[in-house]
Amino acid sequence: VGMGMVSPNAEAASNNAMPLIFLPLISSTFVPVEQMPGWFQPIAQYQPFTPAIETLRGLLLGTEIGYNGWLALAWCLALATLGHFWSKAVFNRDPK
pLDDT, tens digit (0-9, with 9 covering 90-100), for 35-65: 999 999 999 999 999 999 999 999 999 999 9
Q: What is the pLDDT of residue 16?
A: 82
- Residue 55's pLDDT is what? 96
44 close to 26: Cβ distance less than 8 angstroms = yes
What pTM, to 2 d.p., does this model score?
0.81
> d(Cα 5, Cα 34) in Å, to the nearest integer?
40
Q: What is the DSSP letter of 22?
A: T
Summary mean pLDDT of the chain: 90
DSSP line for 46-72: TSTHHHHHHHHHHHHHT---TTHHHHH
What is the gyration radius of the CA atoms in the chain, in angstroms? 17
Q: Where are the domains of the chain?
A: 22-92
